Amino acid sequence: MAGPEIESLIRQLSKLPGLGPRSARRVALALIKRRETLLDPLIQTLGAAAETVKICSSCGNYDSQDPCAICEDPRRDGTIICVVEDVADLWALERTASFRGRYHVTGGLLSPLDGIGPGDLKLDLLLTRARNSEVKEIILALSATVDGQTTAHYIAERLQETETTVSGLAHGVPIGGELDYLDDGTISAALKARRPV
């Protein structure tokens, strides 16, 4: 149909998350059509990312510097570490601008069914950081799924030997959520954790 270079571009694009063969074709065509405004800048930014982005050896975040800007920022509170599963979760928390401590990215959740054990997550590094007397609190901001809660329990147990307080995110009614549409688990959790108005 199209030339081999276009075909392999479409094939490569369709491997990206959220892009199927149809949208990959659309993106490829847009890239070819708008070479100066889309294709060339994209090649450049992809190249720059491939060259400079690395994993922070302290917290597991992605940045152009190691340690990352968050670990290096003296204005951030070094006494609190927020544990997240993935850099995407770290970004989500940063967008809220409501956390000013530091992070630790585990790189996944414990999942016996998928063969992911404690050795596959960056937990030893977290323990080393938690043993630092500066650290007072560890917030476990993991998914409210079975794997997420299993992992949270496991981490909390491992952290008992340190002198940190371990906390987790609150469960309850999401902001803007209608009771009618919420699942039973969330409603019971919100009821149990009710607070004086």
Q: How far is the CB of 162 from its own copies (least distance, A)?
A: 28
6 part of the interface to its own copies, by CB under 8 A = yes
1 part of the interface to its own copies, by CB under 8 A = yes
Contact 138, 130 (CB under 8 A): yes
Q: Which stretch binds its own copies (CB under 8 A): 12-20, 137-145, 146-154, 186-194?
A: 12-20
65 part of the interface to its own copies, by CB under 8 A = yes
Coil/strand/helix, residue 81: strand
Cα separation values, 147 from 85, 88, 116, 195, Å: 11, 17, 10, 28
Q: How far is the CB of 182 from its own copies (least distance, A)?
A: 23
105 part of the interface to its own copies, by CB under 8 A = no
Contact 106, 126 (CB under 8 A): yes
| Other residues' Cβ atoms within 10 Å of the Cβ of residue 46 | 10
Cβ proximity to its own copies, 45 vs 57, nearer residue: 45
146 part of the interface to its own copies, by CB under 8 A = no
- Contacting its own copies (CB under 8 A), which of 57, 91, 161, 191? 91
Contact 122, 86 (CB under 8 A): no
69 part of the interface to its own copies, by CB under 8 A = yes
CB burial class (10 A; 0-12, 13-18, 19+) of residue 173?
A: middle
| Other residues' Cβ atoms within 10 Å of the Cβ of residue 185 | 10
Q: For residue 77, which of 139, 128, 127 has the smallest C-alpha distance?
A: 139
- What type of residue sits at position 88? A
Q: How far is the CB of 45 from its own copies (least distance, A)?
A: 5
Cβ proximity to its own copies, 60 vs 168, nearer residue: 60
18 part of the interface to its own copies, by CB under 8 A = yes
28 part of the interface to its own copies, by CB under 8 A = yes
- Work out whether strand 137-140 and strand 62-63 pair parallel, antiparallel, or are unpaired: unpaired
193 part of the interface to its own copies, by CB under 8 A = no
Coil/strand/helix, residue 54: strand
Q: How far is the CB of 99 from its own copies (least distance, A)?
A: 12
In the complex, which residues of this chain contact its own copies (CB under 8 A)? 1-6, 8-9, 12-13, 15-19, 23, 25-33, 35, 37-43, 45-53, 61-65, 68-69, 86-88, 91, 94-95
